[in-house]
Amino acid sequence: MNKHQKLLTINLFVLTFVLGTSEFVIVGLLTEVSTDLNIAISTAGTLVSAFAITFALATPILTAIFSRFSKYPLMLTLIAVFIAGNIMTALSGSYALLLVSRMITAVVTGVLIALAMAVASETVAADQRGTVISIIFTGFTIASVIGVPLGTYIGQWGGWHMAFWFTALLGIVSLIASSAAIPRGIKGSRSSLRKQIGLLTNSRIGIAFFIPALSIGATYTVYTYLTPLLQEALSVPDPYISLVFLLFGIMSVFSTLIGGKLAARNGIQKLRYVFLIQAGILASIYVSHNSVITGLISISLIALVVYTMNATMQLYFIDLAHKHYPAAKDLASSLTPVSVNVGIALGSSLGGFVTTNMKLIDVSWSGGIVAMAASILTFISCRLDRKAWFSKNKVFPS
């Protein structure tokens, strides 16, 4: 990479770090929000689900609509709206205003992620896209390791409003950096909304969409209930639980980087087996929970696998769009983060069902089954790719 490409990569990494911190910091402040606004903790919890649902529903549509605009002014405008949304959250004195501000922030967060991936894929060489996209995704992981704990500390120290003044400040830093780093010459794609949405009706896109959703859903079936698992199954003392989450976050950083290496070497083929490994690791908790050491090893391995598919799936969607719907590459860039948010919702819901109707430890093998489903879909996608290649080259497989 040349100097400008490195600067752009660093800037997009910082942008996703800021977006991730803003999205997830509310999780650590639900108690403070519920107490301050005099609402139930479950009501405060809807702020998290509302963000994810808004993200998943609005991102594909708005990305398709905005794709006709040049990337530079569009991204700067959306970052400015992101800053305004966080300021609105910081000023919120009621649940209704807080909910609206979080939904506004969710809308621009999703589109900015899609645009960041699109800019990266259009700017760097083909053989470097996997590495660069994995670095950009790492911004979210670092946000969970550093940004969210720091924001939570600020919120607990100065009030939850202060945490969002902090994320607004981070947004201003990102705006300044982006104004210098984002290329000004990347034009939009002139295409009707109908043609772009047609991407979503493609059967191969439809199958591929659920691959990251099922993989992340498998992990979140367990991860959502990791605290009670640590307390009840592994008997980890409460003061050490935060350290386990820190360990999980650190290992997930390596997961993202490994994903970049996979993406550079026909990653979709390898993911078939990665998901089978993921299934085995998740199911292993059912056996390993009898020992703290083996249990923590299983949890570390879950984190090491969790994001290995990100870069590969991001490039897979973009490449499929390039072949079949060239004007919808921006929309294709939004599908991985949207699928991940769908997976988080599915996994947490499945985990809730399991813990309500079965034993807590049963989330382990339940998550393993979901990971196996991700592997099956990946095998199907690879088979369709193989058939498409033979058809294009008029070669008949033996």
- In the predicted structure, residue 397 carries a pLDDT above the cut 70: no
Mean pLDDT of 128-151: 81
Mean pLDDT calculated for residue range 186-210? 71
Place of tokens 């059912």: 286
Provide the whole-model pTM: 0.75
Contact 54, 144 (CB under 8 A): no
The percentage of residues in the chain with a pLDDT greater than 70, rounded to a whole number, is: 91
Residue ranges of domains in the chain, CATH in brackets:
1-188 (1.20.1250.20), 191-398 (1.20.1250.20)
CA–CA separation, 220 vs 364, rounded Å? 10
Whole-number pLDDT of residue 129: 75
Distance CA 202, CA 101 (A): 34
Supply the pLDDT for residue 192. Answer: 54
Q: Please give the pLDDT value at position 176.
A: 94
For residues 86 and 50, give the distance between their C-alpha atoms in angstroms, rounded to a whole number: 16
pLDDT of residue 252: 85
CA distance 368 to 252: 18
pLDDT for residue 96 = 93
The pLDDT of residue 33 is above 70: yes
- CB-based contacts of 75: which residues, under 8 Å, 6+ apart? 112, 115, 116, 119, 178, 182
Question: What does the block give as tokens for 208?
Answer: 């591929």
User: At a CB cut-off of 8 Å and minimum separation 6, what does 363 contact?
Assistant: 221, 222, 225, 229, 351, 354, 355
User: Which of 78-82, 123-127, 170-174, 296-300 has the lowest average pLDDT?
Assistant: 123-127
Round to whole Å and give the CA distance between 88 and 132: 33
Q: Is the per-residue pLDDT at 385 higher than 80?
A: no
The pair of structure tokens assigned to 187 is: 């034009």
The label of the residue with tokens 């020992």 reads: 291
pLDDT tens for each residue of 286-328: 888 888 889 889 999 999 998 888 888 888 887 877 777 666 7
Q: What distance in Å separates the CA atoms of residue 286 and residue 351, rounded to the nearest whole number? A: 14
**Mean pLDDT confidence for 157-168:** 92
Give the pLDDT band (50/70/90) at residue 341. Answer: confident
Mean confidence (pLDDT) of the chain = 84
How confident is the model at residue 225, as a pLDDT?
Answer: 77
Residue from 373, 109, 98 nearest 221 by CA? 373
CB 23 within 8 A of CB 113: no
Across 1-10, 138-147, 198-207, 270-279, the highest mean pLDDT is recorded for 270-279
